[in-house]
């Protein structure tokens, strides 16, 4: 059936979670491209046949006309699927720059096609140019800011003279402190402190 | 590549809603003396111990966390008032107009950071949860009546959280509308 | 700003709100919310962004000064928070616009009206992004297709209009609120028999309405999107 491979390609793109990328399927992609060329050959040969029969290609409505129309529509459908595949992947590729940065882990980069790799690097450059013109890094601060300080209770004897980014503190067990979130997180994640609310 | 609407682009996240609600003005009673704060977002203070000052919620919470003030909960956050609101919400399909647009976010911020300033905090919290449930249910029932022929909906007294429910449901409804016979006939 | 009125009596809630609504931060917040809610890109508020950027710079200098002069750490941390909030707002506003530009760049480029809603920097960015994406699509897809099917904008040479260009859906529903009483709003969408009806909006009430119908009112600033 015409268009089945293109449909598979698009389905494959959509089969993973939103924002996720599948391996660029150049094999299936090229098969769809080949199908397009085949449609075009058939389309041309039908038109040639009509011309040889002395029919006006613009107005004749015989079986060959409808045959040619089907090849044309199938080709257009395949084109739309190929474009949707590349364009939607491009959208995800751009979002990776926002989420991860301009250096991607190998596992992700391996999923790109060669031109996608090029596209990612160019896009990264364009965004950098815009941001330097605005003198503002737009890739930070993705969620609204919170108070940089939190209140914590010490759960274990951590010790005296602990050096933090803005002060030196003594953390006796059960004492309550007001710390920078970034300083406190290392202790919280080790179970040595808890955040207090209310 | 026909246009798609992207609800993720147009919906405010919970964090963003909270950010917006943090600009609501509340009363605080400071226990410190501090000169006026001339912020980009406006001028606040001066702060004098035991004299009520009006500040945005984020500033109130920051001062409270540092032990520099107590926060006066807004009037509507009392057992008496909320009992009335709950009653009104239960008795009518209309949305009551007595709560502010960001009542969910404001009350959550106050429970998280100024629980000791709220009298009968436990009751207040459970009343707000009940009100929230009743209202969400009403919004959902209202939306069931919504169909492809609807061109505009006037919704009185909807809160910020409820708006998100409506927008996500509506973008789906509208999708069906888009592919209705009008389109197919072309 | 508030200092003179603070001397005597406490301002009421309404006065406070009026006061706050005039700050540039409040205006930026409105622009941010509308931009986020509107399906298409809105006009870039050049003056507003300029004023906010200037205030941010001044505030950054003040905070730096205070921190080196050993000012009270409490007020310093509060100034820093105010700065962070405004910075977030500006970044988020510019980010939403960039996202919209990326999604609809071909469509925006085609119309002078839309194109002129972009800032100079956004225009440069968009032009380069269009070139890059076009090149990428040509390399990956179009150059491999038969000649008559190689256009980025059109499905094939026989397409009369640009039927391959993604466009925002203007018939999407948005939530809005009017500042004043508005009447005689023409509904541009919906069943034909309803289209002749005029719609009115009361101030302060929320409406869900098709974006297309209120588009001019959003552009003229009479209606805020939420």
pLDDT at C2 over 70: no
DSSP of A74-134: HHHHHHHHHHHHHHHHHHHHHHHHHHT-SS--HHHHTTS-HHHHHHHHHHHHHHHHHHHHH
Model pLDDT for residues B129-151, shown as the tens digit of each residue: 999 998 888 877 777 666 555 55
Chain A: residue whose CA lies nearest to B21: A144
Q: Check: CATH 3.40.5.50 for B20-72?
A: yes
List chains touching A (3+ CB pairs under 8 A): B, C
Q: How many helices (H) and strands (E) does chain A have?
A: 6, 5
CB contact under 8 A, A84 and B1: yes
Instruction: Give the nearest partner residue to B115 out of A84, A144, A198, using CB atoms.
Output: A198
pLDDT at C202 over 90: no
Give the residues of chain B that fall short of pLDDT 50. Answer: 1-5, 7, 173-186
Which H helix or E strand runs over A161? strand A159-163
Model pLDDT for residues B52-74, shown as the tens digit of each residue: 999 999 999 999 988 999 999 99
Report the C-alpha gap between A34 and A147 in whole angstroms.
58
**Residue A141 contacts B where some CB pair is shorter than 8 Å:** no
Task: Identify the pLDDT of residue B183.
Answer: 27
Do C30 and C86 lie in one domain? The reply is yes
Q: Do the Cβ atoms of A28 and A12 come closer than 8 Å? A: yes
Task: Identify the pLDDT of residue C144.
Answer: 96
Contact residues, chain B, for A78 at CB < 8 Å? none
Instruction: Give the nearest partner residue to C132 out of A40, A126, A141, using CB atoms.
Output: A126
Mutation site for A-interface testing, chosen from B65, B111, B114 by largest number of A Cβ within 10 Å: B65
Do C93 and C187 lie in one domain? The reply is no
Task: Identify the pLDDT of residue A127.
Answer: 96
What are the domain boundaries of chain A? Answer: 4-134, 149-196
3-class DSSP state of B172? helix
Which of the pair, C91 or C72, is modelled with greater confidence?
C91
Cβ-defined contacts of C6-12 (< 8 Å, 24+) = C6/B46, C10/B52, C10/B54, C11/B54
Mean pLDDT of chain C: 84
pTM: 0.86
How many domains does the structure of chain C reveal?
A: 2
CA geometry: angle B162, B168, B2, nearest 5 deg: 155
CB contact under 8 A, C146 and A37: yes
C57: left (phi over 0), alpha (psi -120 to 50) or beta: alpha
Task: Identify the pLDDT of residue B178.
Answer: 30
Sorting pLDDT into bands at 50, 70 and 90, what band is C216?
Answer: confident
Model pLDDT for residues C59-76, shown as the tens digit of each residue: 999 988 888 887 788 888
DSSP of C133-158: HHHHHHHHTGGGS-GGG--SS-SSTT
CB contact under 8 A, A76 and C88: no
3-class DSSP state of B55? strand
Report the C-alpha gap between B131 and B177 in whole angstroms.
32
Q: Chain C residues within 8 A (CB-CB) of chain A?
A: 77, 80-81, 84-85, 87-88, 90-92, 94-95, 98, 102-103, 121-122, 124-125, 128-129, 132-133, 135-137, 139-141, 144-146, 149, 155-156, 164, 166
Do C69 and C152 lie in one domain? The reply is yes
Give the residues of chain A that fall short of pLDDT 50. Answer: none
pLDDT at C199 over 80: no
pLDDT at C15 over 90: no
CATH architecture for segment(s) B73-186: Up-down Bundle (1.20)
Distance from CA of C156 to the nearest CA of A (A): 7
Task: Identify the pLDDT of residue B151.
Answer: 59
CB contact under 8 A, C156 and A141: no
Mutation site for A-interface testing, chosen from C136, C151, C155 by largest number of A Cβ within 10 Å: C136
CATH architecture for segment(s) A4-134: Up-down Bundle (1.20)
Model pLDDT for residues C19-48, shown as the tens digit of each residue: 545 789 999 998 999 999 899 999 999 999
Q: Does the bond joining B46 to the residue before it have cis omega, within 30 degrees of 0?
A: yes
Task: Identify the pLDDT of residue C225.
Answer: 86
**Residue B133 contacts A where some CB pair is shorter than 8 Å:** no
CB contact under 8 A, C87 and A141: yes
pLDDT at C158 over 70: yes
How many beta-carbon contacts under 8 Å exist across A and B?
29
CA geometry: angle B181, B184, B185, nearest 5 deg: 85
User: What are the structure tokens assigned to C35, written together?
Assistant: 């931009």
**Residue A83 contacts B where some CB pair is shorter than 8 Å:** yes
Do C50 and C157 lie in one domain? The reply is yes
**Residue A197 contacts B where some CB pair is shorter than 8 Å:** yes
Do C147 and C207 lie in one domain? The reply is no
Q: Quick one: fold of A149-196?
A: Ribosomal Protein L9; domain 1 (3.40.5)
**C window 168-207, beta carbon within 8 A of B:** 168-169, 171-175, 187, 189-191, 194, 199, 205-207
Distance from CA of B81 to the nearest CA of C (A): 20
Task: Identify the pLDDT of residue C58.
Answer: 94
**Residue C137 contacts B where some CB pair is shorter than 8 Å:** no
Question: With the CA atoms of C218, C224, C225 and C226 taken in that order, what torsion angle do they form, in degrees rounded to the nearest 10?
Answer: 180
Nearest to C122 by CA among A134, B158, B11: A134
Contact residues, chain B, for A181 at CB < 8 Å? none
Do C123 and C209 lie in one domain? The reply is no
**Residue C4 contacts B where some CB pair is shorter than 8 Å:** no
Chain A: residue whose CA lies nearest to B16: A144
**Residue B50 contacts C where some CB pair is shorter than 8 Å:** no
Choose one of C118, C151, C168: the last residue of a domain: C168
Report the C-alpha gap between B145 and A54 in whole angstroms.
60
**What CATH number did the domain enclosing C225 receive?**
3.40.5.60
Report the C-alpha gap between A158 and A167 in whole angstroms.
16
Nearest to C118 by CA among C102, C134, C135: C102
* Fold agreement (B20-72, B73-186): no
Task: Identify the pLDDT of residue B181.
Answer: 27
Task: Identify the pLDDT of residue C7.
Answer: 35
Task: Identify the pLDDT of residue C191.
Answer: 52
Which of the pair, B88 or C186, is modelled with greater confidence?
B88
**B window 87-106, beta carbon within 8 A of C:** none
Domain containing residue C207 = 169-226
Choose one of C129, C150, C168: the last residue of a domain: C168
pLDDT at C205 over 50: yes
Do C156 and C211 lie in one domain? The reply is no
């Amino acid at each position: 059936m015409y268009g089945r491979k293109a449909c598979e390609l698009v389905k494959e793109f959509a089969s993973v979670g939103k924002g996720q990328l599948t391996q660029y399927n150049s094999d299936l992609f090229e098969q769809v491209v080949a199908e397009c060329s085949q449609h075009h050959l058939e389309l041309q040969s039908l038109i040639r046949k009509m011309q040889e029969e002395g029919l006006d290609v613009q107005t004749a409505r015989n079986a060959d006309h409808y045959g040619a129309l089907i090849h044309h529509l199938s080709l257009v459908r395949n084109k739309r699927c190929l474009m949707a595949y590349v364009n939607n992947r491009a959208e995800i590729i751009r979002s990776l720059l926002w989420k991860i940065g301009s250096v991607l882990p190998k596992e992700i980069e391996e999923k790109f096609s060669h031109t996608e790799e090029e596209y990612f690097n160019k896009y990264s450059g364009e965004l950098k140019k815009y941001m330097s013109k605005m003198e503002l890094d737009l890739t930070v601060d993705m969620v609204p800011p919170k108070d940089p300080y939190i209140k914590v209770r010490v759960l274990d004897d951590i010790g005296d003279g602990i050096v933090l980014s803005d002060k030196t503190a003594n953390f006796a067990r059960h004492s309550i402190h007001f710390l920078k979130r970034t300083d406190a997180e290392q202790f919280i994640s080790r179970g040595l402190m808890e955040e207090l609310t209310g | 590549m026909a246009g798609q609407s992207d609800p993720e682009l147009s919906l405010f996240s919970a964090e963003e809603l909270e950010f917006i609600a943090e600009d609501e003005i509340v009363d605080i009673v400071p226990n410190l003396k501090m000169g006026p704060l001339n912020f980009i977002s406006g001028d606040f203070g001066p702060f004098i111990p035991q004299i009520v000052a009006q500040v945005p919620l984020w500033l109130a919470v920051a001062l409270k966390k540092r032990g520099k003030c107590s926060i006066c909960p807004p009037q509507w956050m009392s057992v008496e008032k909320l009992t009335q609101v709950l009653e009104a919400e239960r008795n009518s399909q209309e949305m009551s107009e007595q709560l502010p647009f960001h009542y969910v976010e404001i009350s959550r911020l106050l429970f998280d950071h100024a629980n000791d300033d709220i009298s009968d905090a436990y009751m207040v919290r459970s009343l707000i949860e009940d009100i929230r449930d009743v209202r969400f249910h009403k919004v959902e029932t209202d939306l069931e009546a919504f169909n492809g022929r609807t061109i505009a909906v006037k919704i009185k007294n909807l809160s910020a959280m409820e708006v998100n429910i409506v927008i996500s449901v509506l973008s789906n409804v509208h999708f069906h509308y888009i592919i209705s016979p009008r389109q197919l006939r072309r | 700003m508030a200092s003179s009125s603070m001397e005597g009596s406490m301002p009421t809630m309404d006065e406070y709100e009026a006061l706050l609504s005039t700050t540039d931060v409040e205006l930026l917040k409105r622009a941010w919310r509308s931009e986020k809610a509107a399906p298409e890109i809105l006009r870039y508020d050049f003056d507003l962004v300029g004023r906010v950027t200037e205030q941010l710079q001044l505030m950054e200098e003040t905070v730096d000064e205070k921190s080196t002069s050993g000012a009270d750490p409490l007020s310093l941390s509060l100034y820093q928070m105010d700065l962070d909030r405004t910075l977030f707002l500006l970044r988020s506003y510019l980010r939403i616009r960039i996202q919209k530009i990326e999604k609809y760049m071909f469509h925006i480029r085609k119309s002078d009206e839309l194109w002129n809603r972009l800032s100079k920097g956004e225009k440069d960015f968009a032009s380069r992004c269009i070139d890059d994406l076009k090149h990428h699509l040509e390399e990956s897809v179009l150059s491999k297709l038969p000649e008559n099917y190689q256009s980025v904008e059109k499905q094939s040479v026989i397409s009369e209009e640009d039927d391959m260009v993604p466009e925002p859906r203007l018939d999407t529903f948005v939530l809005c609120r009017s500042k004043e009483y508005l009447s005689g709003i023409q509904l541009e969408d919906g069943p034909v028999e309803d289209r002749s009806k005029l719609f009115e909006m009361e101030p302060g009430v929320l409406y869900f309405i098709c974006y297309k119908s209120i588009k001019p009112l959003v552009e003229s600033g009479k209606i805020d999107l939420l």
